[in-house]
């Protein structure tokens, strides 16, 4: 991604357009409320979350065995299994499969992993035409933007933006913002693509170790259409997508759609087990930093993520800063935990882009302790030296003053220390508190001054 | 029962009224309250910014100051949560552990330890309650909108017998106000926007006051309200509970 500016800078720019921010916030809040309604209809909701969390913990603790089991079963079914240690290897593997079949055009659906690996750019540079087939993904692809949300990739755009994009790229009527019309037009355009592409790439929502099959959940049915019409189906998955047995699917399918959009279940939950006669299915199992994260005790839980996006919809910061401000394939609270694992320096700002309100942790269907992990990342990033020097100096001063009652007393008296220090935290001549907020009024005396004079007297009065 | 009053540093400096109300209220409820004069800060501003390793001095100071008390009570959920989760000591971990278990936010102390169900008072105003996240989701002072579980609210329960007080029900019951400690300056744009939106929710219900259990959130909201010349005022819940 070409984004070099920090989350707070990007968020500030995003916030210049108040109407857009309000719209973004309200749209996502609407989804969060839908999620609440459908989750609250299920009496055993919290038990489901706990069960899902336990299943995933089991998977993470025995990942080696499950991967070996999955590979053996998938191969028995006639699926070709590949292993990729990192993004580069993943891209090379996908490219080599396409080359082998002399494929120059590929349809793609539902894969944030390929975003993480920057597959589109890689293939395009090698002369392969990649078409994202999900409506939202297609829209951002036409605009040459990354998705801003893992489930709702074009949520940062209004229908006016979409209309403009389609007018430019698909030749639709200028200014026609009727969603029905726009969707129809996209459908027609994509249908032709489906019919002519020989290879299709999809993501994987769940891979079942016991049976060697995998499940892809979609609302538009594009993954199926792509995969069914093509001769070669390539499925790419991070290794954490495994679940032990088929029976566990019931738990996850019930949680996934409700958490994501408030639907009881996604429109299509497609099972892929073996290739049809004369066709091929490939699975690329990707590590790309996951085993490192697995080894970090404080952060391994983040690999339980089933990519429902609920933490983004509920996050008050995400809702007001937009997905692109996170400059990472996966945005929002979970992205802020995954991103520093991939590149600590580049993503050091992300764990700080949160108030630690904890709403993410509460909505997460697999009970990832998201806000606690954000707190822990902050500690790691400071220790590793990825915070601005001025902040470190301010913090050290603050720590000294606050640890010393006498200095604190004097500092308080002479300058109402706390607030001064708070605003001095950023390396900025402007007082960032005062920009859009008034400072608190300074009272005649501090509480401790009052207490010195009145504390004992009040106590006596009450005892009488 | 000896209660140590723990007043967060910025409350001490900027909102002495909140400290006074807390002190008087606890006295009225029959506690033997003392304010150890040498207390400073719990260390949360550093810890939340990633500098937990610099909080040892604060921790040691906290332990010395509050070692003599059965309970420590504080009118701020986030400071309490910080102590509860992060107070440690290299030399006296046993005492740190005891303190972690015995530190309480004001309303939870009143409902859970003193077992007081409601408090008489007089506050004839329309009030919106801003549930601060650390108190709510951290200390579980009230039910959270994300979970599928029955409703309860320790602070709201205490407000029921306050004469004339009309508590409104907000549209986004437990949305964060955007204060977030140093977040309020490092992510200024978002912080302010969140605060403005939080205020709009209260404005929709035409409240006279916004109350809450955490002065830091209220300080942030107050800063925005005053910049907007809004007639809405802020008041800490301790001040309402101490109204007569
Ligand atoms: S962290 Fe949890 S809530 Fe967020 S996308 Fe993953 S599973 Fe969903």
Picking from A362, A399, A412, A450 by the largest number of B CB atoms within 10 A of its own CB, the best residue to mutate is A399
Whether residue A206 contacts residue A243, with contact meaning beta carbons closer than 8 Å, is answered with: yes
Confidence class for position B93, pLDDT limits 50, 70, 90: very high
- In B, residues 32-51, which contact A (CB 8 Å cutoff)? 33-35, 37-41, 43, 45-51
Please tell me the predicted confidence (pLDDT) of residue A2.
43
Q: Do B193 and A403 touch (CB under 8 A)?
A: no
Low-confidence ranges of chain A (pLDDT < 50): 1-2, 426-427, 429
pLDDT tens digits for B27-40?
A: 999 999 999 998 88
CA distance A370 to A367: 8
What's the whole-number mean pLDDT along residues B120-146? 96
Whether residue A198 contacts residue A103, with contact meaning beta carbons closer than 8 Å, is answered with: yes
Please tell me the predicted confidence (pLDDT) of residue A427.
45
Is the CB of A331 within 6 Å of ligand 1? no
Does B224 contact chain A (CB < 8 Å)? Answer: yes
Q: Do A362 and B146 touch (CB under 8 A)?
A: yes
Residue nearest to atom 7 of ligand 1 (CA): A305
Distance (angstroms) between ligand 1 centre and the Cα of A312 equals 8
Is the CB of A311 within 6 Å of ligand 1? yes
What's the whole-number mean pLDDT along residues B53-68? 92
- Model confidence, pTM: 0.94
Complex ipTM value: 0.96
Please tell me the predicted confidence (pLDDT) of residue A34.
97
pLDDT tens digits for A116-162?
A: 999 999 999 999 999 988 889 899 999 999 999 999 999 999 999 99
CA distance B101 to A111: 46
Measured between CA atoms, the residue of chain A closest to residue B44 is A399
Pocket-testing residue among A35, A113, A310, ligand 1, by greatest number of atoms within 8 A of Cβ: A310
Please tell me the predicted confidence (pLDDT) of residue B17.
96
- In this structure, the dihedral spanned by the alpha carbons of residues B185, B186, B188 and B191, taken in order and rounded to 10 degrees, is -90
Q: Do B184 and A422 touch (CB under 8 A)?
A: yes
Please tell me the predicted confidence (pLDDT) of residue A213.
97
Does A320 contact chain B (CB < 8 Å)? Answer: yes
Is the CB of A335 within 6 Å of ligand 1? no
Pocket-testing residue among A251, A260, A308, ligand 1, by greatest number of atoms within 8 A of Cβ: A308
Please tell me the predicted confidence (pLDDT) of residue A223.
77
Picking from A356, A401, A422, A423 by the largest number of B CB atoms within 10 A of its own CB, the best residue to mutate is A356
- In this structure, the dihedral spanned by the alpha carbons of residues A46, A52, A57 and A59, taken in order and rounded to 10 degrees, is 180
Measured between CA atoms, the residue of chain A closest to residue B224 is A437
Please tell me the predicted confidence (pLDDT) of residue B228.
95
Distance (angstroms) between ligand 1 centre and the Cα of A374 equals 14
| DSSP conformational letter for B124 | -
Average pLDDT, chain B: 95
Distance (angstroms) between ligand 1 centre and the Cα of B108 equals 31
């Amino acid at each position: 991604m070409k984004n070099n500016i920090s989350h707070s800078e990007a968020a500030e720019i995003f916030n210049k357009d108040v109407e857009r921010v309000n719209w973004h916030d309200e749209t996502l809040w609407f989804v969060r409320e839908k999620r609440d309604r459908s989750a609250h209809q299920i009496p055993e909701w919290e038990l489901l979350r706990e069960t899902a969390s336990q299943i995933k913990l089991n998977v993470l603790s025995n990942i080696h065995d499950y991967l070996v089991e999955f590979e053996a079963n998938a191969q028995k079914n006639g699926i070709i299994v590949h292993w990729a240690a990192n993004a580069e290897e993943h891209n090379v593997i996908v490219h080599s499969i396409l080359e082998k079949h002399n494929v120059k055009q590929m349809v793609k659906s539902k894969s944030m992993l390929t975003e993480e690996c920057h597959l589109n750019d890689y293939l395009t540079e090698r002369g392969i035409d990649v078409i994202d087939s999900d409506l939202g993904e297609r829209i951002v692809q036409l605009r040459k933007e990354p998705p801003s949300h893992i489930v709702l990739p074009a949520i940062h755009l209004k229908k006016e933006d979409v209309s403009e994009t389609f007018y430019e790229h698909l030749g639709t009527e200028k200014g026609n913002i009727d969603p029905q019309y726009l969707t129809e037009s996209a459908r027609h355009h994509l249908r032709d693509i489906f019919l002519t592409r020989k290879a299709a790439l999809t993501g994987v929502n769940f891979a079942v170790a016991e049976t060697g099959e995998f499940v892809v959940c979609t609302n538009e049915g594009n993954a199926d259409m792509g995969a069914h019409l093509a001769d070669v189906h390539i499925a790419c998955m991070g290794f954490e997508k495994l679940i032990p047995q088929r029976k566990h699917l019931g738990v996850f399918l019930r949680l996934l759609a409700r958490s994501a959009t408030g639907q009881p279940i996604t429109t299509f939950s497609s099972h892929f087990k073996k290739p049809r006669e004369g066709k091929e299915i490939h699975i690329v199992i990707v590590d790309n930093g996951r085993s490192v994260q697995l080894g970090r005790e404080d952060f391994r839980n983040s690999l339980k993520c089933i990519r429902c996006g609920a933490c983004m919809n509920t996050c008050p910061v995400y809702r007001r800063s937009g997905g692109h401000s996170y400059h990472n394939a996966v945005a929002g609270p979970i992205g802020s935990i995954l991103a520093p694992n991939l590149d600590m320096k580049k993503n050091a700002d992300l764990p700080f882009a949160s108030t630690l309100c904890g709403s993410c942790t509460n909505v997460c269907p697999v009970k990832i302790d998201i806000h606690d992990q954000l707190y822990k990342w902050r500690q790691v990033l400071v220790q590793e030296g990825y915070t601005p020097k001025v902040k470190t100096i301010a913090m050290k001063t603050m720590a000294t003053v606050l640890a010393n009652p006498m200095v604190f007393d004097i500092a308080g008296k002479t300058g109402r220390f706390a607030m001064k220090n708070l605003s001095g935290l950023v390396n900025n001549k402007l007082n960032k508190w005062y920009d859009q907020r008034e400072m608190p009024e300074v009272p005649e005396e501090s509480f401790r001054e009052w207490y010195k004079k009145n504390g004992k007297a009040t106590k006596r009065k009450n005892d009488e | 029962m000896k209660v140590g009053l723990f007043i967060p540093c910025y409350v001490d400096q900027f909102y002495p009224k909140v400290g006074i109300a807390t002190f008087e209220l606890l006295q009225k409820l029959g506690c033997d309250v003392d304010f150890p004069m040498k207390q400073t800060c719990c260390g949360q501003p550093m810890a939340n910014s990633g500098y937990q390793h610099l909080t040892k001095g604060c921790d040691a100071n906290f332990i010395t100051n509050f070692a003599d008390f059965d309970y420590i009570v504080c009118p701020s959920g986030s400071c309490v949560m910080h102590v509860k989760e992060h107070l440690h000591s290299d030399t006296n971990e046993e005492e740190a552990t005891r303190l972690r278990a015995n530190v309480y936010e004001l309303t939870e102390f009143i409902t859970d330890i003193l077992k007081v169900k409601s408090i008489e008072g007089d506050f004839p105003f329309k009030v919106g309650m801003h549930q601060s996240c650390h108190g709510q989701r951290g200390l579980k002072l009230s039910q959270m909108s994300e979970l599928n579980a029955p409703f309860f609210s320790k602070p709201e329960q205490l407000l029921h017998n306050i004469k004339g007080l009309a508590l409104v029900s907000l549209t986004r019951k437990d949305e964060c106000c955007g204060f977030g400690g140093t977040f309020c300056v490092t992510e200024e744009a978002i912080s302010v926007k969140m605060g403005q939106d939080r205020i709009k929710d209260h404005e929709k219900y035409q409240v006279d006051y916004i109350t809450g259990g955490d002065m830091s959130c209220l300080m942030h909201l107050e800063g925005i309200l005053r910049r907007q010349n809004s007639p809405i005022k802020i008041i800490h819940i301790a001040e309402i509970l101490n109204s007569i």
